[in-house]
C-alpha cells in the first residue's frame, strides 16, 4: 500500500470515528432534553427564572383566537387588558401559536419540538464553531459539554426565547466564520437570515451586529465586497420592517421592534436601588412608574421611561458606575444561594459553577491564537457589556455561556493531555529504575 493510500484510509477512519462520537453526543443531548420536556409536562407554571413562559403561552393563545398580540387581563410590565403589546418577541410568540394551531393547546408539544431542534443543532454548532479554531478532539469535547450543560437542558424546554436565541447566536458565528473563509452572496444571504431571525427573537442582538460586520471587514480587508455587507443589513431590515410598521399603526408612535428597552433601563437604574440592584421590601417595579405617565400607551411609556433612565445616569454617573459594577455579582453568579430554589442551585453549580474554571483556563490558552478567537471574544465582551450596563441576570448570560463552551473544551483537552504526559513520564522513569 502506498503512503498516499494509507493516509487516505487513516483520514477516512478518523472521520468515521468523529462522526460516531458526534452522533452519540447528539443522541445524549436530545434524550436529556426530551426527558426534561416530559418532566415539565403539558402545563405552564411559574418556575425559577422562567416566568416569561407564562407570558408567551398567553400571547400565543390570544393570537390563535384572533386577538393579536394582546392580553385578556392587565399584564406585565404595564399593558392594559385588550391593548396591543410589543414587549415580547413576535417571532417566538408566532412559533408557539403555530405549534398550538397544529397540535392543540399543548405546551408539551412545543417543549418536545424545542428539545429535538436544540438536541441536534446545539452540539453540531458547537462542534463546527470549535473546529474552526481547534482540532476534532477539542470540538467533540465542546459538543459534549453543550449536551450535558444543565442550564441549556433546563432552558431548552421552557416556553421562552432562550433556545432559539442561543442557536441563532451560534449559527451566526459559524456563518460569519464560513463567510470570511469564502465570501459569497449565498453566505451573506444566510448570515442575514440568521441574524434577522435572531434579532426578532431578542432585539439586543442588533447591538452586536456592527461589531460582527466590523470583524468581517477587518478579516477580509482589501477582499471585502461592500455589497455583501449591504445584503446582510438589507435582510435584517426586511425582518424588522413589518413589525416597525405594525407598531406605528397600533401605537401611533415609532418603535423599531420591541417596547422593552426603556422599561428595563428605567427599572434597572432607578435611584431606589442605590448602588446595588435590589428592590426594597414591599415595593414593585410598577410602583416606580410615575403616576403622570401611566395614561400613556405602551410605546409612549417605553420612550418616556428610557428618557427618565438616561436622566438617572446623567444625574448620578458615579452611582450608575458602581451599580453596573455590582451587577456583575448577579450576572456571573456560580455558587448556591439560600434565596434560590433547589433546582436553581443545582442548575447553577452543575453548569456554570462546574465549567467556569475550564472556561477561564481555555480563554487564557486561546490568547496564543487570539486572532482566530477574536469573534467569540467580541461577542462575550459586547453581550456581557450590554447587560451589565442595563439589566443583568443569569438567564441573560446564557448565550455567553454557549460561546464560552469551546474554550472549556480547549481547557479539558489540554489538562487531560498534561495529566497523561505526566503519568507516562512517571511510568517511564519507573521503568528506567527497574531496568537500571
User: Which residues in 203-228 are b (16+ Cβ under 10 Å) and which e?
Assistant: bbbeebbeebbebbeebeeeebeeeb
Full DSSP string of 52-104: HHHHHHHHHHHHHTT--S--SS-BTTTBPTT----SS-HHHHHHHHHHHHHH-
Residues 73 and 79: their CA atoms lie apart, in Å, by 9
Q: For 85-92, what is the mean pLDDT? A: 97
Contact 44, 107 (CB under 8 A): yes
Q: What per-residue confidence (pLDDT) applies to 177?
A: 97
Instruction: Please list, in sequence order, all residues whose beta carbon lies within 8 angstroms of the beta carbon of residue 417, skipping any fewer than 6 positions away.
Output: none
C-alpha neighbours within 13 Å on the C-beta side of residue 21? 16
Average pLDDT over the chain reads 92
61: exposed, middle or buried (Cβ count in 10 Å: 0-12, 13-18, 19+)? middle
Q: List the one residue out of 350, 375, 364 whose CA is nearest residue 414.
A: 364
Total residues found in the chain within this entry: 436
145/167 Cα distance (integer angstroms) = 15
pLDDT band at 77 (very low <50, low <70, confident <90, very high): confident
Q: State how far the Cα of 143 lies from the Cα of 239, in Å rounded to an integer.
A: 30
436: confidence class by pLDDT, cuts 50, 70, 90: low
pLDDT of residue 345: 86
- Whose grid coordinates read 441549556? 152
- pLDDT of the residue at 90: 97
List the single range of 11-20, 198-207, 411-420 with lowest mean pLDDT: 11-20
The stretches of 161-260 forming alpha helices (DSSP H) are 162-181, 185-201, 209-220, 226-251
* Cα(412)–Cα(365) distance, integer angstroms: 11
pLDDT band at 1, cuts 50/70/90? low
Instruction: Inform me whether the pLDDT recorded for 283 exceeds 90.
Output: no
Measured distance CA(403)–CA(176) in Å, rounded: 14
Q: Count the neighbouring beta carbons within 10 Å of the beta carbon of residue 354.
A: 16
Model pTM score = 0.93
pLDDT band at residue 11 under the 50/70/90 scheme: very low
More confident site: 323 or 432: 323
Q: What is the mean pLDDT of residues 346-355?
A: 92
Residue (of 405, 422, 420, 423) closest to 138 by Cα position = 405
| Dihedral pair phi/psi, residue 218, rounded to 5° | -65, -40
Q: Of 45-54, 290-299, 418-427, give the lowest mean pLDDT range.
A: 418-427
Which of 395, 403, 416, 388 has the alpha carbon at shortest distance from 51? 395
User: Tell me: the pLDDT tens digits for 354-391?
Assistant: 999 999 999 999 999 999 999 999 999 999 999 999 99
Q: What is the pLDDT of residue 17?
A: 86
Nearest to 159, CA basis, from 40, 331, 30: 40
Cell readout for 58 is 398567553
Instruction: Mean pLDDT check: name the lowest of 285-289, 293-297, 306-310, 316-320.
Output: 285-289
Q: What is the pLDDT of residue 4?
A: 53
- Return the minimum-mean-pLDDT range out of 41-45, 48-52, 176-180, 213-217: 48-52
> What number is the average pLDDT over the span 193-214?
97
Q: What are the residues whose beta carbons fall under 8 Å from the beta carbon of 223, sequence distance 6 or more?
A: 183
Q: What is the DSSP secondary structure assignment for residue 203, as one 8-state letter?
A: G
Confidence of residue 8 (pLDDT cuts 50, 70, 90): very low
For residue range 52-67, list pLDDT tens digits in order: 999 999 999 999 999 9
Amino acid at each position: 500500500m502506498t503512503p498516499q493510500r494509507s493516509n487516505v484510509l487513516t483520514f477516512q477512519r478518523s472521520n468515521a470515528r468523529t462522526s460516531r462520537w458526534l452522533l452519540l453526543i447528539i443522541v445524549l443531548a436530545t434524550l436529556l432534553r426530551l426527558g426534561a420536556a416530559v418532566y415539565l409536562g403539558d402545563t405552564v407554571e411559574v418556575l425559577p427564572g422562567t416566568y416569561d413562559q407564562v407570558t408567551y403561552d398567553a400571547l400565543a393563545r390570544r393570537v390563535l383566537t384572533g386577538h393579536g398580540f394582546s392580553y385578556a387581563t392587565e399584564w406585565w410590565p404595564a399593558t392594559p387588558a385588550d391593548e396591543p403589546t410589543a414587549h415580547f418577541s413576535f417571532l417566538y410568540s408566532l412559533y408557539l401559536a403555530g405549534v398550538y394551531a397544529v397540535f392543540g393547546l399543548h405546551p408539551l408539544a412545543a417543549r418536545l419540538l424545542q428539545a429535538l431542534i436544540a438536541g441536534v443543532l446545539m452540539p453540531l454548532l458547537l462542534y463546527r464553531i470549535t473546529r474552526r479554531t481547534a482540532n476534532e478532539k477539542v470540538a467533540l469535547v465542546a459538543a459534549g459539554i453543550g449536551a450535558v450543560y444543565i442550564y441549556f437542558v433546563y432552558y431548552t424546554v421552557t416556553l421562552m426565547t432562550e433556545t432559539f436565541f442561543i442557536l441563532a447566536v451560534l449559527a451566526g458565528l459559524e456563518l460569519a466564520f464560513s463567510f470570511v473563509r469564502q465570501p459569497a452572496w449565498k453566505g451573506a444571504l444566510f448570515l442575514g437570515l440568521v441574524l434577522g431571525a435572531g434579532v426578532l427573537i431578542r432585539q439586543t442582538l442588533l447591538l452586536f451586529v456592527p461589531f460582527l460586520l466590523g470583524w468581517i471587514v477587518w478579516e477580509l480587508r482589501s477582499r471585502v465586497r461592500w455589497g455583501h455587507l449591504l445584503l446582510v443589513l438589507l435582510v435584517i431590515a426586511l425582518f424588522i420592517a413589518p413589525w416597525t410598521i405594525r407598531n406605528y399603526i397600533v401605537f401611533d408612535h415609532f418603535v423599531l421592534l420591541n417596547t422593552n428597552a426603556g422599561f428595563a433601563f428605567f427599572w434597572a437604574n432607578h435611584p431606589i436601588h442605590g448602588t446595588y440592584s435590589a428592590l426594597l421590601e414591599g415595593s414593585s417595579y410598577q410602583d416606580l412608574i410615575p403616576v403622570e405617565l401611566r395614561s400613556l400607551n405602551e410605546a409612549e411609556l417605553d420612550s418616556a421611561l428610557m428618557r427618565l433612565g438616561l436622566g438617572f445616569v446623567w444625574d448620578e454617573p458615579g452611582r450608575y458606575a458602581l451599580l453596573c459594577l455590582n451587577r456583575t455579582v448577579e450576572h456571573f453568579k456560580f455558587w448556591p444561594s439560600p434565596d434560590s430554589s433547589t433546582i436553581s442551585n443545582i442548575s447553577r453549580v452543575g453548569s456554570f459553577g462546574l465549567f467556569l474554571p475550564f472556561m477561564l483556563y481555555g480563554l487564557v490558552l486561546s490568547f496564543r491564537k487570539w486572532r482566530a478567537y477574536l469573534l467569540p471574544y467580541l461577542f462575550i465582551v459586547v453581550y456581557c457589556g450590554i447587560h451589565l450596563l442595563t439589566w443583568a441576570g443569569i438567564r441573560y448570560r446564557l448565550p455567553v455561556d454557549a460561546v464560552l463552551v469551546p474554550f472549556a473544551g480547549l481547557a479539558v483537552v489540554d489538562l487531560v493531555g498534561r495529566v497523561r504526559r505526566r503519568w507516562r513520564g512517571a511510568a517511564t522513569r519507573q521503568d528506567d529504575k527497574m531496568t537500571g
